[in-house]
């Protein structure tokens, strides 16, 4: 009995299959957003209760989820890294799309829907930190998968 170590689902299942790399990537992305919020609240001597962190994180988590819907819908249409690197850990298009969706969408939701501020300094920090986090771990993972393959 052969063990199939292929990390990507068959082409016919790519739109609907939830794979272990997909779950791990989604968890990593949520951790990035929560770490961004918790670090910011801590640096500004604000409370770190679960409720206070989730209050600030919610617009970014909603935007992240919408980004995941977009990247899943796009699938491999935009290309990406060499084979052997799971699509969900690729910098392009997955990481970049999720970064832009999470940062821009999260800031827009924060301002328009949640009625919270978006000072210029916060916008800059949010875009930078989320970019480093959401794209950075994917760059490291892509390099690791590239060496394995």
Question: Can you give the residue ranges of every domain in the chain?
Answer: 21-148
Token pair in block for residue 111: 């301002």
How remote is the C-alpha of 67 from its chain's centroid? 8
Residue 4 pLDDT exceeds 80 = no
Q: What is the per-residue pLDDT for 147? A: 79
- Residue 92 CA: distances (Å) to CA of 1, 33, 58, 84: 35, 19, 25, 14
pLDDT in tens, 45-56: 999 999 999 999
pLDDT in tens, 108-141: 999 999 999 999 999 999 999 999 999 999 999 9
Q: What is the per-residue pLDDT for 67? A: 97
Q: Average pLDDT for residues 10-30, to the nearest whole number?
A: 78
pTM of this structure: 0.85
């Amino acid at each position: 009995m052969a063990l199939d170590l292929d990390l990507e689902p068959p082409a016919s299942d790519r739109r609907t299959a939830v794979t272990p790399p997909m779950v791990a990537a989604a968890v990593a992305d949520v951790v990035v957003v929560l770490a961004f919020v918790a670090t910011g609240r801590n640096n500004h001597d604000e409370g770190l209760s679960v409720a206070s962190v989730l209050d600030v994180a919610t617009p970014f988590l909603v935007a992240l989820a919408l980004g995941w819907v977009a990247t899943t819908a796009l699938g491999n249409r935009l290309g990406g890294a060499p084979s052997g690197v799971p699509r969900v850990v690729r910098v392009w298009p997955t990481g970049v799309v999720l970064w832009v969706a999470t940062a821009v969408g999260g800031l827009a939701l924060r301002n328009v829907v949640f009625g919270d501020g978006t000072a210029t300094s916060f916008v800059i920090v949010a875009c930078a930190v989320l970019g480093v986090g959401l794209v950075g771990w994917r760059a490291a993972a892509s390099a690791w998968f590239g060496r394995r393959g």
